């Protein structure tokens, strides 16, 4: 377990964070279509190579989360993506859940699948070069009724089962209980749900004998719902986010990474800077960094449009955003 703890902690190098390019086939297809980019296996490979193949990303990234198909894909440099990352000192990771489906006892909520056959898949991912993994659970806020206790506990059990399997396989688990930004809820309600969700998750992790020191938490920020018309200031987001985490996250975990879901690149950058500042003021016990997908990709994809002649300008935009997000950590 010592090696897992060391690997987990190595992802929290000063000024560096994680890039998520772990979109499923469906999500990647939808994402590319938003920018008028043709879809298919080869275009998904080019999309990932746009980011992984950018020179200089090792200045800002300690790890990259891949989708499973990408572990066997090669970049334009003819190197397998995991190898291309590893030689630059960037840890390759992989999303291991198999997506969500409606929760039977509460169909408006979601449950994450992927435990069947997980041990065998983890063994294969490790052979392909992955050193860490990620499992995402999704929770929607609707007034005081959602998320339901049943959905919280069932998703927490699956997160814990995954984390235990990953550690047994010698891979670092990143647990991601995401609180969706969609909805009319207040920031205060988001803070409460984050706190309640994480208290349940860590209680269930304890029941499953998961080693806290060898896990990473990927969490949402406390944000008002996207339909609430409330514009949170970075300081408000930071105050409520750190407050929720201080009341729910054990100090022993390897660290916390933030997701950017629903935020613009600028919002995700400014909110992260305020959270880092607030964490320092509060003497937060864990290292913090980013694990962004869309907030790091958006500007580059808008320039690239799937065309070879736009790769250089798109990569420059990607590096520029990476530099801004990295600066937010200081």
176 is catalytic: yes
Catalytic pick among 16, 95, 134, 218: 218
Q: Going by DSSP bridges, is the β-strand pair 91-95/100-103 parallel, antiparallel, or unpaired?
A: unpaired
83 is catalytic: no
Cα-trace Rg, the chain: 19
How many beta carbons lie within 10 A of that of residue 127, not counting itself? 9
SS3 state at 54:
coil
Instruction: Give CA separation, 241 vs 191, 236, 248, in Å.
Output: 6, 8, 11
Q: How many CB atoms lie within 10 A of CB 91?
A: 22
SS3 at position 37: coil
Comparing CA positions, the residue from 229, 303, 227 lying closest to residue 265 is 303
Catalytic residue among 176, 236, 270, 298: 176
Distance between CA 298 and CA 314 in Å, rounded? 10
Q: What is the DSSP string of 176-233?
A: EEEE---SS--HHHHHHHHHHHHHHHHHHHHHTT--GGG-EEEE------TTS-----
Cis peptide before 147 (omega within 30 of 0): yes
| Helix (H), strand (E) at residue 268 | helix 265-281
Annotated catalytic residues are: 176, 218
């Amino acid at each position: 377990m010592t090696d897992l703890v060391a690997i987990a902690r190595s992802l929290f190098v000063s000024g560096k964070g994680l890039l998520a390019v772990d979109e499923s086939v469906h999500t990647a297809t939808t994402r590319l279509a938003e920018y008028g980019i043709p879809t298919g296996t080869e275009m998904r490979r080019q999309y990932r190579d746009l980011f992984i193949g950018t020179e200089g990303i090792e200045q800002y990234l300690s790890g990259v989360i891949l989708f499973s198909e990408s572990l066997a894909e090669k970049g334009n440099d003819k190197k397998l993506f995991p190898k291309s990352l590893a030689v630059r000192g960037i840890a390759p990771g992989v999303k291991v859940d198999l997506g969500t489906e409606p929760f039977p006892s509460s169909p408006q909520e979601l449950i994450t699948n992927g435990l069947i056959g997980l041990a065998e898949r983890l063994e294969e991912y490790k052979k392909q070069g992955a050193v860490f993994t990620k499992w995402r659970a999704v929770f929607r806020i609707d007034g005081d009724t959602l998320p339901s206790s049943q959905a919280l506990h069932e998703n927490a059990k699956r997160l814990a089962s995954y984390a235990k399997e990953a550690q047994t396989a010698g891979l670092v688990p990143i647990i991601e209980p995401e609180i969706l930004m969609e909805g009319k809820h207040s920031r205060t309600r988001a803070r409460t749900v984050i706190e309640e969700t994480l208290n349940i998750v860590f209680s269930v992790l304890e029941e499953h004998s998961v080693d806290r020191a060898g896990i990473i938490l990927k969490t949402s920020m406390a944000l008002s719902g996207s339909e609430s018309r409330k514009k949170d200031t970075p300081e408000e987001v930071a105050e409520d986010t750190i407050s929720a985490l201080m009341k729910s996250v054990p100090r022993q975990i390897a660290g916390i990474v933030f997701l950017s879901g629903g935020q613009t690149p600028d919002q995700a950058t400014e909110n992260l800077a305020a959270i880092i500042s607030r964490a320092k003021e509060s003497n937060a016990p864990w290292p913090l960094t980013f694990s962004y997908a869309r907030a790091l990709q958006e500007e580059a994809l808008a320039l690239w449009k799937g065309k070879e002649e736009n790769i250089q300008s798109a990569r420059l935009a990607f590096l520029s955003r990476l530099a801004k997000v990295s600066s937010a950590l200081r």
